[in-house]
Chain A
Amino acid sequence: MAEMNMLQAVNEALSIAMQADERMVVFGEDVGHFGGVFRATSGLQEKFGRSRCFNTPLTEQGIAGFANGLASNGMTAVAEIQFADYIFPAFDQIVNEAAKFRYRSGNEFNVGSLVFRTPYGGGIAGGHYHSQSPEAYFTQTPGLKVVVPRNPEQAKGLLLASIRDKNPVVFFEPKRLYRASVGEVPAGDYEIELGKAEVVREGKDITLVAWGAQMEILEKAADMAAKEGISCEVIDLRTLAPWDVDTIADSVKKTGRLLINHEAPLTGGFAGEIAATIQQECFLYLESPISRVCGLDTPYPLVHEKEYMPDALKTFEAIKASVTF
């Protein structure tokens, strides 16, 4: 165990994976000698050489297409998209190509050994294009896995699992926590299984679900609720596609209530999918309407960031509204 922040955990995961797999290459804008604008790839070029960790020209669709080509021909490709806000030029390569590579070829070819890492989320005065949470655009695409860690320990284990998973993974890193989240991280090589949610805190009155940086918000809101005598079960979804229906449904069958929180806008956000599924699986157990505490249906604003965010206070209010319904 060593104490580190999320960036160091990501860096360590990349280093361990590259050490273990000589076919693995890491690339993107500014990831080479400079080590990335957030320093997630710091030192990798020195350790593994320019041919395995390098800068690309500034072209997201090129990075994604290049990654598909590498992975289709026996390499392990870990591509960085500098901000999740800039993943959209690569959307075609990810959705039409990476996600469908295995299916469309009848498994003659696949790009399973591929991960797109990208910093996402707000709370850093990033305005429209350094704050977005585009996960729901990808969860609607069969063939992709979508993973979001909440702290350094999770980031390392989930990233190692994503790199070794036999399917293309879009790995969203909460940049608000890159340096802010510091914690004990197990030494050496370990993986956290994809597709499994984690019950972070047990409770009996209401189930709270989120992922990534919003897990901090849930915990704060759960603490506030505890002072009012409300017992919250807090769950980190971790993998959004394919997501762990059973863990959420089991929890809701116990608590009878569900609140989902995400930074992304409400309409079409992933909370809608969770709510619809749980409503179907747990109809006879629900004691109040499923609550969604999300970003507003606006572009991510600069000056009103604090007002936009689905923060602990908004979550706390929604918890109270649910238990008193």
Chain B
Amino acid sequence: MSKATLNTDTVHRVGFLDKASLHIPILRILQADGTTYETAVLPVIDEALATKIYDTCVFTRVLDERMLGAQRQGRISFYMTCTGEEAAIVGSVAALDQEDVILAQYREHAALRYRGFTTEQFMNQMFSNEKDLGKGRQMPIHYGSAALHYQTISSPLATQIPQATGVGYSLKMQGKRNVAVCYFGEGAASEGDFHAGLNMAAVLKCPVIFFCRNNGYAISTPTEEQFAGNGIASRGVGYGMHTIRVDGNDMLAVLAATQQARAYAIEHNAPVLIEAMTYRLGAHSSSDDPSGYRSKDEEAKWQQHDPVKRFKLWLINKGWLAEADDVKLHEQYREEVLAAVKVAEKIPVPMLDEIIEDVYDKPTPALKKQLSELKEHIKKYPQSYPKSAGRL
């Protein structure tokens, strides 16, 4: 060993450590009735921030409800909801600077909304129309926005974790007082990229917040089939990383933990792991039916812990929200989303030429040849290619 990184205590009888050796408490600030624990230390929050957080939660609920419906009607091909995990996402993003770089998994669109992604932008992506920033190339909910420092989602799980380490390193090298923030589920944490990314971040001293949504399931797989250790948090300690476990359905706990994690990461150029304990109230995706692997009773129990309702009670207690205004807010977003669906689904798909753009910085001669052959073919059989035949 070049440097002593291990302690040197010795014993003279065999004794094993087990997962109970590591006591990991769960941070809770907000109680079910909307009051805070007596000894709780509250995050930095004022009425404007609280209102923006709640507004984002309501929008996300409405969007999820409406777009799942749109998927059921066959208007979009695929959808995934954030339901039950809004506090984990919005509570954490609200602790960030707008220029902190977000790398997400796929169930974090509430964070993108918080940053300013418009209803139209959500729709354009889901309908793969020509106004989509991603040019209609990826499945619905694979959002991204350079302007909002939210890197484009990709389907392969956990690949964004070591990437976040690289982004964190780049922020440090560029002398920016910003962090990379990486969201992932507890299932993704079983991928090799989780290990690679966290270990590298700790060793290379990168300002990154690793934010794990431990929602109990990876599609149908419950956590007891995912890991045998003390959740995800115990691993952070193993990597030599500042680590905290929070109640992911407690907006104030998530906000407080993330605020302090961010300050620490920047101050020390070091990563922090946050494990937010929550529950995936919805199906995994529009292609999934959870009744095949979990009970209605279990779901009903977790409905009692609805993070948005808990936060709403706190807002009402504070006098920052009135029931009538809440009803109005829901109504307003329902109308807005419905109207945006109607607009987005009428916008044409991107021009066929986009099929060869952005593979490289410039299309290669081979790609140009393939495109021109494709166009000739489509001209011959236009009825078989209705999306592009009319606009060659």
User: Looking across the interface, which residue of chain B has its beta carbon closest to that of A77?
Assistant: B166
Q: Report whether B154 and A61 are in contact in the complex, using a CB–CB cutoff of 8 Å.
A: no
- From 247 to 275 in chain B, residues with beta carbon under 8 angstroms from any chain A beta carbon are none
As a 0/1 sequence over residues 26 to 48 of chain A, the CB contacts with chain B under 8 angstroms (1 = contact) are 00000000000000000000000
Q: Report whether A109 and B144 are in contact in the complex, using a CB–CB cutoff of 8 Å.
A: yes
Quick check: is A140 within 8 A (CB to CB) of the other chain? no
- From 166 to 193 in chain A, residues with beta carbon under 8 angstroms from any chain B beta carbon are 166-167
Q: Report whether B163 and A65 are in contact in the complex, using a CB–CB cutoff of 8 Å.
A: yes
Find chain B residues with CB under 8 A from A51 CB. 173
CB distance from A194 to the nearest CB of B (A): 11
Quick check: is B142 within 8 A (CB to CB) of the other chain? yes
CB distance from B350 to the nearest CB of A (A): 9
Known: A61-B193, A66-B200, A105-B134. A96 touches B159 (CB 8 A): yes
Q: Report whether B159 and A108 are in contact in the complex, using a CB–CB cutoff of 8 Å.
A: no
CB distance from A211 to the nearest CB of B (A): 18
Quick check: is B216 within 8 A (CB to CB) of the other chain? no
Find chain A residues with CB under 8 A from B103 CB. 69
Quick check: is A97 within 8 A (CB to CB) of the other chain? yes
The complex places the Cα of A105 from the Cα of B360 at a distance, in Å, of 12
Most central of A61, A73, A96, A109 by chain B CB within 10 Å: A73
User: Looking across the interface, which residue of chain B has its beta carbon closest to that of A51?
Assistant: B173
Q: Report whether B166 and A104 are in contact in the complex, using a CB–CB cutoff of 8 Å.
A: no
CB distance from A104 to the nearest CB of B (A): 5
Known: A23-B173, A104-B142, A108-B146. A62 touches B359 (CB 8 A): no
The complex places the Cα of A245 from the Cα of B365 at a distance, in Å, of 10
Quick check: is B181 within 8 A (CB to CB) of the other chain? no
Find chain A residues with CB under 8 A from B142 CB. 104
Known: A103-B137, A107-B358. A70 touches B144 (CB 8 A): no
Q: Report whether A65 and B196 are in contact in the complex, using a CB–CB cutoff of 8 Å.
A: yes
Most central of A62, A72, A143, A195 by chain B CB within 10 Å: A62
Quick check: is A56 within 8 A (CB to CB) of the other chain? yes
The complex places the Cα of A115 from the Cα of B166 at a distance, in Å, of 14
The complex places the Cα of A105 from the Cα of B168 at a distance, in Å, of 20
Q: Report whether B196 and A69 are in contact in the complex, using a CB–CB cutoff of 8 Å.
A: no
Q: Tell me how many residues of A have a C-beta within 8 Å of chain B.
A: 47
CB distance from A232 to the nearest CB of B (A): 27
Quick check: is A59 within 8 A (CB to CB) of the other chain? yes
Q: Report whether B200 and A92 are in contact in the complex, using a CB–CB cutoff of 8 Å.
A: no
Q: Report whether A106 and B167 are in contact in the complex, using a CB–CB cutoff of 8 Å.
A: no
The complex places the Cα of A70 from the Cα of B172 at a distance, in Å, of 11
Q: Report whether B159 and A65 are in contact in the complex, using a CB–CB cutoff of 8 Å.
A: yes
Q: Report whether B101 and A73 are in contact in the complex, using a CB–CB cutoff of 8 Å.
A: yes
CB distance from B270 to the nearest CB of A (A): 15
The complex places the Cα of A74 from the Cα of B222 at a distance, in Å, of 39
Q: Report whether B199 and A62 are in contact in the complex, using a CB–CB cutoff of 8 Å.
A: yes
Find chain B residues with CB under 8 A from A166 CB. 360-361
Known: A72-B151, A96-B156. A106 touches B166 (CB 8 A): no
As a 0/1 sequence over residues 219 to 262 of chain A, the CB contacts with chain B under 8 angstroms (1 = contact) are 00000000000000000000000100100000000000000000
Q: Report whether A66 and B154 are in contact in the complex, using a CB–CB cutoff of 8 Å.
A: no
Which one, A62, A72, A96, A143, contacts B200 given CB within 8 A? A62
Q: Report whether A65 and B167 are in contact in the complex, using a CB–CB cutoff of 8 Å.
A: no
The complex places the Cα of A96 from the Cα of B166 at a distance, in Å, of 17
The complex places the Cα of A237 from the Cα of B135 at a distance, in Å, of 34
Which one, A73, A108, A110, contacts B170 given CB within 8 A? A73
The complex places the Cα of A242 from the Cα of B359 at a distance, in Å, of 11
Find chain A residues with CB under 8 A from B174 CB. 74-75
Quick check: is A154 within 8 A (CB to CB) of the other chain? no
As a 0/1 sequence over residues 297 to 310 of chain A, the CB contacts with chain B under 8 angstroms (1 = contact) are 00000000000000
Find chain A residues with CB under 8 A from B161 CB. 65
Which one, A62, A97, A145, A167, contacts B196 given CB within 8 A? A62
- From 42 to 93 in chain A, residues with beta carbon under 8 angstroms from any chain B beta carbon are 51, 54, 56-57, 59, 61-62, 64-75, 77, 89, 92-93
Most central of A54, A100, A195 by chain B CB within 10 Å: A100
Find chain A residues with CB under 8 A from B154 CB. 96-97, 100, 104
Q: Report whether B152 and A104 are in contact in the complex, using a CB–CB cutoff of 8 Å.
A: yes
Find chain A residues with CB under 8 A from B364 CB. 195, 242
Quick check: is A112 within 8 A (CB to CB) of the other chain? yes
- From 96 to 151 in chain B, residues with beta carbon under 8 angstroms from any chain A beta carbon are 101, 103, 132-135, 137-138, 142, 144-146, 151
Find chain A residues with CB under 8 A from B366 CB. 242, 245
Q: Report whether B169 and A70 are in contact in the complex, using a CB–CB cutoff of 8 Å.
A: yes
List the 8 closest A-B pairs by CB distance, nearest first: A69-B166, A65-B162, A62-B196, A105-B152, A69-B163, A106-B135, A166-B361, A66-B166
A residues neighboring B (CB under 8 Å): 23, 25, 51, 54, 56-57, 59, 61-62, 64-75, 77, 89, 92-93, 96-97, 100-110, 112, 142-143, 145, 166-167, 195, 242, 245
Q: Other CB < 8 Å A-B pairs besides A66-B197, A72-B163, 17 of them? A: A51-B173, A59-B192, A62-B195, A66-B166, A66-B169, A68-B166, A69-B166, A73-B170, A92-B156, A103-B358, A104-B134, A105-B134, A106-B152, A112-B361, A166-B361, A167-B360, A245-B366
25 sampled A-B residue pairs with Cβ under 8 A:
A25-B173, A59-B195, A62-B199, A65-B159, A65-B163, A66-B162, A66-B165, A66-B169, A66-B197, A69-B180, A70-B167, A72-B166, A75-B174, A92-B159, A97-B159, A100-B154, A104-B138, A104-B154, A107-B357, A109-B146, A110-B361, A143-B359, A166-B360, A242-B365, A245-B365
B residues neighboring A (CB under 8 Å): 101, 103, 132-135, 137-138, 142, 144-146, 151-152, 154, 156, 159, 161-171, 173-174, 180, 192-193, 195-197, 199-200, 203-204, 357-361, 364-366
